[in-house]
Amino acid sequence: MTWEIALVFVLLVGALVSFALEKVPADVTALTLMGVLIVTGLLPYKDALSVFANPGPLTVGAMFILCAALEKCGAIDVLARRVDRISKLPFEIVLLVLIVTVGGISAFINNTPVVVVFMPVVLSLARKSGVPASKLLMPMSFAAVLGGLCTLIGTSTNIVVSSIGEQKGLPKFGMFELACVGLPVFAVGTIYLVAIGRKFMPVRETLTSILSEEERREFITEAFVQPDSPHIGKTLKEAGLLNRRGIRVIEVVRSGVVMRDELTDIRLIAGDRLVLSCRPSGIAHTKRLAGIDFVAEAGLGLEQIAAHEGLLAEGVIGPHSVLVGSTIAEANIRQRYRVIIVAVHRRGKNLREHLSELRLEAGDTLLMLGTQQAVNNLRGGEDIILVDQPLVPTEGRDYSLPLVIGVIAAVVTVSSFDWMPIELAAFLACIVLFLTKAIRPQEGYASVQWNILFIIFAMLGMGIAMDRTHAAEWLSNEVMHVVGMFVAPEHKPVAMLVAIYFVTMLLTEILSNNAAGAIMATLAIELAEAMGVNARPFLIAVTIAASASFATPIGYQANTYIYGVGGYRFSDFVKVGVPLNLLAMVTAIFAILEFFPF
């Protein structure tokens, strides 16, 4: 082993640990890794630049835009509303229809927007059917993942692994080549979820259940600072209105204008109007404060903005939300949306302390309190996606629905028959949609999940570094040596195929599926070359295993989104997902051996 090989593995292990701990955003870790590789000379500068010419990430970026156009034109909403009508059918039929519908859509669309659109529909379906939402949300997410296994464009990982193989001189994946393995896995997964898995689905309450009965009864009202109030010149905290149990200050209105300053910095003056959220005990306390009267009781003839029971609403931070990366205080949520955050659910934990300092992430579930008008104003936005009812688009674009479907169908067709490379077809399709205003350029650019692209670029760079330093070759030889000690030579390819699938499956449960796919694809090709067998079965195994993530809520973004909304625990995914992982692995291995011989 040379020092270059040793350093590559040290950096790789360090990146994997950082990915798993999530102390640093995954894309920042990936870019840092690539920067260190370039600085140390492990990745030559010209090779690093060649990464950005790889068609894989470019195709992924274009597909994000095409998926956004399909979502904007209402195609997913139409299907989602149809699913909402089956609530009167038996639960098994409802579950089967939901899985097949979501899986079928996810075969051609990135599964994250599918899950985001279907979440409110599933919650509505659960209410109408009298079934706990936790019995439907997990199968919906798993169906989205299973559907993505069936086509080249089903998930970004499929495209990335295909592009890595193409760089190594292997034929790229066909549009429906993965269906030989993906469809059997989808079928087995569907049977498991409907017949067996549903019995292990937990009964969980939503985020609202963490509140006591008194906490659920909060009232939005206003108070007026009288001219002779002894609290004039005091901060809200000094006046006994901030950080006090039973009272939350939503905003301060001065001379008809909402104050944009931090609530802790505002000093009261005569005439200030305080919009408060109070529990019954909080209202009693406020009434005892000298010089601060409720508007309704002051008899001043002032128009009262809010004097009714507050509305609790649950929402999820969307994948393209401007709030991602900001703390609740930095995002100024109180003033921006006129709601207050009561609690946040993240990775199985309900967070209620020091919320203002919490840095928001995509997939966080928020429990918010505000007026009916404030909650309604959130609908149709992409920052906080309410989950209490199916989405209602703020701008109808039904006219573009046939065009968008036709353009995407054209991409699938020309790619399937090799009339045009998929990256070129997707690129031209984006141009057509921009020119026809089916989606605005700004919306298209905003829909691209740049963090995923940067992770892909960095992992491709790591693959090149492993090639240049012969680290991949060294590791494949060591693995071959270990396997050779326990497996007869004629069984080595099958044993290695199982090992590659299993390791990829484990990695994708704790890392980004794109990172796991990129790393293992490089190793898989080296192993195939070392054994002198066809690399195709190994690449297919990596592709399927990198996406078939069911045992944890963090392995796949679709699972992360339903984690908080369904009130799930980490163990719920282990209980239901591990058997599905194993069934998917056994099915995939048999299908690969049948359709992709060594």
Report the C-alpha gap between 207 and 72 in whole angstroms.
29
Mean pLDDT of all residues in 357-378? 79
DSSP 421: -
The pLDDT score that the predictor gives to residue 591 is: 96
Give the pLDDT confidence of 471-494 residue by residue, as tens digits: 888 888 888 888 778 888 888 899
Strands 349-351 and 273-278: unpaired
Report the C-alpha gap between 320 and 37 in whole angstroms.
30
Q: Kindly state the percentage of the chain with pLDDT values over 90.
A: 24
Q: Is the model more confident about 140 or about 212? A: 140
Give the model's confidence band at 345: pLDDT under 50 very low, under 70 low, under 90 confident, else very high: confident
433, amino acid identity: L
Mean pLDDT of all residues in 562-566? 79
In angstroms, how far apart are the furthest CA atoms of the chain?
Answer: 93
Please report the sign of the dihedral spanned by the C-alpha atoms of residue 263, residue 265, residue 268, residue 269: negative
Q: Residue 396, Cβ neighbours under 10 Å: how many?
A: 11
Q: Residue 417, Cβ neighbours under 10 Å: how many?
A: 10
CA 576 to chain centre: 20
Q: Kindly state the percentage of the chain with pLDDT values over 70.
A: 86
Give the model's confidence band at 349: pLDDT under 50 very low, under 70 low, under 90 confident, else very high: low
Give the model's confidence band at 284: pLDDT under 50 very low, under 70 low, under 90 confident, else very high: low
The pLDDT score that the predictor gives to residue 546 is: 92
Give the model's confidence band at 257: pLDDT under 50 very low, under 70 low, under 90 confident, else very high: confident
The pLDDT score that the predictor gives to residue 206 is: 58
Give the model's confidence band at 291: pLDDT under 50 very low, under 70 low, under 90 confident, else very high: low
Give the model's confidence band at 249: pLDDT under 50 very low, under 70 low, under 90 confident, else very high: confident
Stretch among 80-84, 127-131, 285-289, 338-342 having the lowest mean pLDDT: 285-289
Alpha-carbon distances, residue 416 vs 106, 176, 202, 425, 506 (angstroms): 18, 7, 41, 11, 31
Contacts of 86 (CB under 8 A, 6+ apart): 93, 94, 97, 125
Mean pLDDT of all residues in 530-545? 93
Report the C-alpha gap between 386 and 258 in whole angstroms.
25
Alpha-carbon distances, residue 260 vs 220, 486, 574 (angstroms): 19, 69, 45
Q: Which residues of 451-462 are buried (b: 16+ CB within 10 A; e: fewer)?
A: bbbbbbbbbbbb
The pLDDT score that the predictor gives to residue 392 is: 47
Cβ atoms of residues 183 and 124 within 8 Å? no
Report the C-alpha gap between 64 and 408 in whole angstroms.
12
Q: Is the model more confident about 117 or about 289? A: 117
Give the model's confidence band at 598: pLDDT under 50 very low, under 70 low, under 90 confident, else very high: confident
Q: Which domains does the chain have, with CATH numbers?
A: 219-309 (3.30.70.1450), 311-386 (3.30.70.1450)
Q: Torsion angle of alpha carbons 115, 117, 120, 123, nearest 10°?
A: -40
**Nearest residue to 7 via CA among 46, 37, 38, 44:** 37
**Nearest residue to 204 via CA among 137, 140, 144, 141:** 137
Average pLDDT, the chain: 82
Strands 247-254 and 257-258: antiparallel
255, amino acid identity: S
**Nearest residue to 178 via CA among 591, 597, 598:** 591
Cβ atoms of residues 70 and 64 within 8 Å? no
Percent helix, strand and coil across the chain, each to the nearest 5: 60, 10, 30
Give the pLDDT confidence of 138-189 residue by residue, as tens digits: 999 999 999 999 999 988 899 999 999 988 889 989 999 999 999 999 999 9
Q: Is the model more confident about 80 or about 322? A: 322
The pLDDT score that the predictor gives to residue 173 is: 92
Cβ atoms of residues 255 and 271 within 8 Å? yes
Cβ atoms of residues 441 and 434 within 8 Å? yes
3-class DSSP string for 158-208 = HHHHHHHHHHCCCCCCCCCCCHHHHHHHHHHHHHHHHHHHHHHCCCCCCHH
Q: Is the model more confident about 179 or about 511? A: 179
Neighbouring-strand partners of residue 308? 220
pLDDT above 90 (res 99): yes
Contacts of 295 (CB under 8 A, 6+ apart): 221, 222, 223, 224, 273, 302, 304, 307
Cβ atoms of residues 249 and 241 within 8 Å? yes
pLDDT above 50 (res 101): yes
* Token pair recorded at residue 582: 């194993």
In a 3-state reduction of DSSP, which class is residue 598? coil
Contacts of 97 (CB under 8 A, 6+ apart): 83, 86, 89
pLDDT above 60 (res 332): yes
What pTM does this model have?
0.76
Helix 75-83 crosses helix 111-129 at what angle (to 10 degrees)? 20
Give the pLDDT confidence of 297-318 residue by residue, as tens digits: 444 433 333 444 456 778 888 7
Report the C-alpha gap between 221 and 238 in whole angstroms.
21
